[in-house]
Amino acid sequence: MPSTVSTRKVAQAGADGSQVATKRVAIGLVLASIGAVAFSGKAIIVKLAYRYGVDAVTLIMYRMLFALPLFAAMAWWAGRGKPRLTRRDWAGVLGLGFSGYYLASFLDFAGLVYITASFERLILYLNPTLVLLFGWLLYRYRPTRQQVLGMAVSYCGVLLVFGHEFEAGAGGSSGAAAAWGALLCFGSAVSYAGYLVYSGEFVKRLGSLRLVGLATSVACLLCILQFLLLRPLVAAQVAPQVIWLSVLNASACTAVPVLLVMMAIERIGPALAAQTGMIGPLSTIAMSVLILGEPFTAWIAAGTVLVIAGIFVFTRR
């Protein structure tokens, strides 16, 4: 009899543990999905703000101005009780903040002047392939056949959409302008890929949340400084709608998604969180059609399918 009771307790404990694990995964998937959708809303807000005559330098200044307190608080919270940063740590934070958040963000904002939000998201979604290319150039990492196949399919999808935008132009612009916008957004993806490649050591030393808070705070200060150097103060007088859109961008599409994705990674790991991020391009396309009125053509649909399928094959392992 005692052994039977013990067996039942073990079985019950196992069932409870399984339920807890299932709930943890479900919560992680929800957090990752919401974070991906929130991230993808950034391009929509930027395109809406451009309708009020603001330029990229001013718009990104406002976004980073409102985001600075949030990320500074994040860095402070994650750094409580931790050792102070060394000179090497600060040098890494400055470099990563410049590459991963200042340069990548500015090029992205500048590119969105010329191309549609859906095309921008597809370009940025190539980021994992660029990380692999950096690994091949710097560390001689050899990609597998599966990864090469995934890259080929993804880039074919981007080229398909690019060909359509180059021919038709984006929002009435010339094909050359669409090419320039695509190049700027691709530069943004390259800059952020460089951040991911070089951030590994500092993530181990500082922790992911502390590094993100510090690096993004550096980027915020750089964007504000860029505005002060390139624009007169009178340029800060913008339409009230730009202010509110920038507040929404800084909070709901910048700081909050970072926290949600971090929480998701803690529950389901980076691989599954990255797979869940595939919802990002789809949500961007849906919002661009419903909110911005951008066209959804068979070319965009085919290109999106190819990009997502290629990245899925690329990251499946």
Q: Which of 152, 106, 138, 121 is nearest to 313 (CA)?
A: 152
Domain range annotation of the chain: 41-315
Confidence of residue 195 (pLDDT cuts 50, 70, 90): confident
**Quick one: CA torsion of 288, 294, 295, 296, rounded to 10 degrees?**
-10
Lowest mean pLDDT among 28-37, 49-58, 127-136, 169-178: 169-178
Task: Say whether 264 sits in a helix, a strand or coil.
Answer: helix
Residue 106: is its pLDDT beyond 90? Answer: yes
Measured between alpha carbons, how far is 132 from 155 in angstroms, rounded to an integer? 14
Pair 184, 118: CB distance under 8 Å: no
User: By the 8 A CB rule, do 116 and 173 touch?
Assistant: no
The burial of 4, by beta-carbon neighbours within 10 Å (0-12 exposed, 13-18 middle, 19 or more buried), is given as exposed
Name residue, tokens 């957090």.
Answer: 31
Segment 31-67, tens digit of pLDDT: 888 888 888 889 999 999 999 999 999 999 999 999 9
Q: What average pLDDT is seen over the chain? A: 84
Predicted local confidence at residue 311, as pLDDT:
83
The pLDDT of residue 17:
58
Type of residue found at 38: A
Q: Pick from 170, 172, 174: which is nearest to 123 by CA?
A: 170
The first and second tokens of residue 276, run together, are 């869940």
For residues 132 and 73, give the distance between their C-alpha atoms in angstroms, rounded to a whole number: 33
pLDDT digits (tens, 9 = 90+) for 274-312: 667 778 888 888 898 899 888 888 888 888 888 888 888
Please determine, for residue 190, whether its predicted confidence score (pLDDT) is greater than 80: yes
For 4-11, the CB contacts below 8 A with 24+ separation are none
Q: If residue 258 lies in a helix (H) or strand (E), which one and from where to where?
A: helix 256-276
Write down the pTM of the prediction: 0.85
CA distance 200 to 246: 30
CB 112 within 8 A of CB 279: no
Contact (CB, 8 A) for 310 and 150: yes
Given pLDDT bands bounded at 50, 70 and 90, which one contains residue 170?
very low
By CB atoms closer than 10 A (0-12, 13-18, 19+), residue 233 is exposed
Residue with tokens 């730009």: 242
Helix, strand, or coil (residue 270): helix
